[in-house]
Amino acid sequence: MYGYFVKRTLQAAFTAFFVMSLSFVLVRLMPGNPADQLRGQLIRNNPSLSQQEINRRVANYINIDYSRPLHEQYLTYVSGILQGDLGQSVSQNAPVSEILGEALPWTVFAFSVAILLMFAVGISLGALMAYKEGSRFDVSTTGLGIVLNSTPNYVTALLFLYVFGFTLGWFPTSGHISSSIVPIVDPLRPVATAQFVASAVYHASLLIATVVITGFGGVALAMRGNSIQVLGEDYLRVARLRGLSDTRIALRYVARNAILPMYTGLLLAFGAIVGGSAILEQVFTYPGLGYYIVAAVEARDYPLMMGGFVLITLGVVVGAFIADVTYGLVDPRVSTGGDAS
């Protein structure tokens, strides 16, 4: 157990280090040298600035001072990131950490709700399908799952936006909350807080529905497969022979052993879906992390691009680390460090 923990921690640290180095390399590879571009812009806009002042500002924006030796640039860059300094966004004219810090809670909120719902629906449906294996219900749900799985989520998003947003007008088509609502979370003012939460849920509902609709099919199929496999195990026959109740068998034996392999999948899904959030957030004009990354790429705003990339990756690394470490706690087979599969 101890060795596994150490190995996993080292791996997470190494991955984080690798990502920061990669992002450094990527910034340096950017076409047209972002620093020169910025320098030109600054000189054009305020010709009175001294060369030193311009250099200072450019370094501030990009987080890299191109005139210094490479290893020094690298160290400054990494230590800057570790201190939460991701540079200055060019297009939004604000510190990158501030923009992303404001966007992050919205993405986390919308996608956590969506992923939890998706797994809840998928797992219960998958268990039911496995229980009724071969029935008409199972066949039609499997078919539905395949169809939903082959639909990209932005296609579903566009359809939802068209039907429920524009045509029927039931749901808002952009933004976090209504403009008339004050964003406030204060236990002393429950009415205002409730209004705020309700408005946030209302604005995120189309996005949440899209993630759930396009995602639950895959979860259900995985759960169905796991459950069917568990149903064939010997210990289940033993449990039945011992005369255990059906509920106990279903919950303690089948559900537990079928869900376990999906636990890491759940935590990794956060990473994958938040990483893939860019297109959905763009479609729904929902200013979260992905929205700003796309906006940054469109504006060639390198600091914001790299900041978003580093932030998301570190989030995913931490998520995967937590998943692996806690998985060792719930499933003793893993903690030996051997191949879990």
Partner 1 sequence: MSQGNQSETKPAGSGGFGTVADSSLSRRERYRRVLDLWVVAPFRVVWNDVRARIGTALVLGFVTVGVVGPALVAEPRVGQAPLLVGPFRGGIVGGSWYEVTNASLFGLSVPWLAFHWPLGTDNVGRGILEQVVHATPRMLTMVATAGLFVTLLGTTVGALAGYTGGRLDQLLSTAVDIVLTLPGLPLLLILVALLEPESPVVLGIVLSLQGWAGMARAIRSQVLTIRSTSYVEASRAMGLSTPAIVAKEIVPNIMPFVMINMVNAMRNVIFASVGLYFLGLLPFSEVVNWGVMLQLAYSNGGLLTLDAAHWLLVPMVSIILLSMGLILFAQGMDRVFNPRVRARHAETTANGGDEPAESSPRTASLGGDL
Among 51, 71, 93, 134, the residue binding partner 1 under the rule CB under 8 A is: 134
Q: Is 99 exposed, middle or buried (0-12, 13-18, 19+ CB in 10 A)?
A: buried
What track of x and - describes contact with partner 1 for positions 11 through 30 (by CB under 8 A)?
x--xx--xx--x---x--xx
**Amino acid letter for position 170:** W
What track of x and - describes contact with partner 1 for positions 73 through 102 (by CB under 8 A)?
------------------------------
Distance CA 279, CA 152 (A): 10
Q: Are 321 and 8 in contact (CB under 8 A)?
A: yes
3-state SS, residue 308: helix
Inter-CA distances, 60 with 8, 72, 89, 292, Å: 35, 15, 10, 20
Min dist CB 268 to partner 1, Å, is: 9
Q: Which stretch binds partner 1 (CB under 8 A): 95-103, 198-206, 296-304, 326-334?
A: 296-304
Q: Are 120 and 215 in contact (CB under 8 A)?
A: no
Inter-CA distances, 62 with 65, 99, 162, Å: 8, 15, 40
Give, as one character, the DSSP assignment of residue 85.
-
Among 308, 327, 328, 335, the residue binding partner 1 under the rule CB under 8 A is: 308
Residue with smaller CB distance to partner 1, 80 or 225: 225
Residue with smaller CB distance to partner 1, 42 or 158: 158
Residue with smaller CB distance to partner 1, 80 or 276: 276
# residues near partner 1 by CB under 8 A: 54
Q: Which of 53, 47, 103 is nearest to 281 (CA)?
A: 103
**Amino acid letter for position 6:** V
Q: Which of positions 264-293 make contact with partner 1 (CB under 8 A)? A: 271-272, 274-279, 282, 290, 293
Interface ranges with partner 1 (CB under 8 A): 11, 14-15, 18-19, 22, 26, 29-31, 133-134, 138-139, 142, 146-147, 149-152, 154-155, 158-159, 161-162, 166, 271-272, 274-279, 282, 290, 293-294, 297-298, 300, 305-306, 308-309, 312-313, 316-317, 320, 339, 341
